[in-house]
Amino acid sequence: MRIVFAEPGRPKSGTIVVGVLDERKLSPTAAALDKDTGGAIKRAIAASRFTGRKDEVLGVLAPPGLALGRVLLLGLGKTQALDEAALQSLGGNIVAQLNSVGESEAAVVLDKLDGMALKPPEAAANLAYGARLRSYRFDKYRTKEKPEQKPSLKTLAVMNRDPAGARRAFAPLEKIAEGVFFTRDLVSEPANIIYPETLAAAARSLAKLGVEVEVLDERQMKKLGMGALLGVAQGSARPPRLVVMQWKGGSKSKGAQPIAFLGKGVTFDSGGISIKPADGMWDMKWDMGGAGVVIGLMRALAGRKAKVNVVGIVGLVENMPSGTAQRPGDIVTSMSGQTVEVLNTDAEGRLVLADALWYCQDRFKPKFMVDLATLTGAIIIALGGEHAGLFSNNDELAARLAEAGAAVGEKLWRMPLADAYDRMMDSDAADIKNISGGRDAGSITAAQFLQRFVNNVPWAHLDIAGTTWSKKDAATVPKGATAFGVRLLERLVAEHYEQG
């Protein structure tokens, strides 16, 4: 779908989209259309339940006097509530509605409204951004779709009185969308296509944007003592990889500390010897969702030339049962020197992150670390798909993450960390065990495990098991891979850690 910005006007074909405020108050363009059609717009509204509430939509076949196909009335709600998120939602809903009726071209007229906080160019850019996010579709393996099953919308024009300003405001947002789409693509791919080597290759593609990319192989990780990560990988024919990405857009001073993001990259999780039930195991292709987010985030930051130094690290493994697989009861030695008793081979993501976290702080001395992982089913029981779990040893970092999530609609809920939970991870045979041994507080004890590999560095863990994949459409997120975390972390960086 192509997005263009233009001066306000009356299109000669396709659909014109105009706004209606709460309590059926017409926007200036809608009022002009109503006048030109002898009151047809108001009559259509009166004959419906449409009131102009946010996200309401009413399609009207173009009345006589208009040289176009239809008029789409878009509920704007209250003017004061038209912030960035609301406009993005409107843009996404416009795309969904136009595709549902088979429209190929449309123009949205975004009037300047009294009381709206955003300037017209910013409003237009955010509406277009929401439209772009909703336009995503993963259909590369569909070979027999009928034309009516495919998206129809080819061109969306967003009209406002400063199209040049809107284009400037949209440029960085489009780069963020590209990062989101990259993540959605990676997470959507099946495990026979995306495995440690090919996911590492996808990360290498960021070099063309100026990201420095290193890929550590099995031999290098063994030399570093990454026994926790390597233990997970030993049952698979696919060798593991650790990918290190650096974007150096900030200070060039020698002592400048980067910020760091880490992702769990289990490209397929069978559970290993502690094998999962067959029903639903196919979903475990997206157990690399955390790694996908970090790679997409690096693409977004590099794409918009963010003025910040960022390290992205992803541990990539496949967790499979075989004659060489790790056994329940095995004890491994992590890079930190701590020994881990592996009671359940399906609690593998924390083992991968344990070595990645230690490697990150040991090598880069970051200002803070944030890891993302589809870590526990327990967080889905606690929070469903509405929030991701947030765990942190630093109140400021936790607050900033929560604020960034609220701003972009990727909501976090802070969960506790405490000594009592930490003691549940003590092992009789090693320094720590990888599960508590019971069903209580499963997402919390997993986070406590990770915290044992954080050495006096501000840190946060986002458990995104419930938010990485959606079974239903949302305004800016089609069902499937969500890329939850890319926009959240990009906002965190933009709000607090960029220079100038």
**276 assigned to active site:** yes
Helix, strand, coil percentages (3-state) for the chain, rounded to 5, are 40, 20, 40
Task: Tell the burial category of 237 from Cβ atoms under 10 Å away from its Cβ (0-12, 13-18, 19+).
Answer: exposed
* 3-state DSSP assignment of residue 61: strand
Residue at 101: amino acid letter:
V
**2 assigned to active site:** no
Question: Token digits for 450?
Answer: 């990770």
Which residue in this structure is represented by tokens 């990889």? 241
Q: Which one from 10, 53, 276, 414 is the annotated catalytic residue?
A: 276
* Cα–Cα distance measured from residue 162 to residue 203, given in angstroms and rounded to the nearest whole number: 37
Annotate 317-334 with b (16+ C-beta within 10 A) or e (fewer): bbbbbeeebbeeebebbb
Please give the torsion angle defined by the CA atoms of residues 300, 304, 307 and 308, in that order, rounded to the nearest 10 degrees: 10
Residue at 465: amino acid letter:
A
231 in Cβ contact with 283 (< 8 Å): no
290 in Cβ contact with 399 (< 8 Å): no
Of 340, 400, 348, whose CA–CA distance to 376 is shortest? 348
* Cα–Cα distance measured from residue 236 to residue 270, given in angstroms and rounded to the nearest whole number: 10
158 in Cβ contact with 2 (< 8 Å): no
264 in Cβ contact with 290 (< 8 Å): yes
Question: Token digits for 234?
Answer: 């030993």
* Cα–Cα distance measured from residue 81 to residue 143, given in angstroms and rounded to the nearest whole number: 43
Which residue in this structure is represented by tokens 């003691």? 423
Residue at 199: amino acid letter:
L
Helix (H) or strand (E) holding 400: helix 395-408
Q: Which one from 184, 238, 285, 350 is the annotated catalytic residue?
A: 350
Strand order of the sheet with strand 432-433?
330-333, 339-342, 432-433
Helix (H) or strand (E) holding 449: helix 442-451
Strands (E), 270-323: 309-319
463 in Cβ contact with 376 (< 8 Å): yes
Please give the torsion angle defined by the CA atoms of residues 364, 370, 373 and 379, in that order, rounded to the nearest 10 degrees: 150
* Cα–Cα distance measured from residue 157 to residue 177, given in angstroms and rounded to the nearest whole number: 18
Q: Supply the residues annotated as catalytic.
A: 276, 350
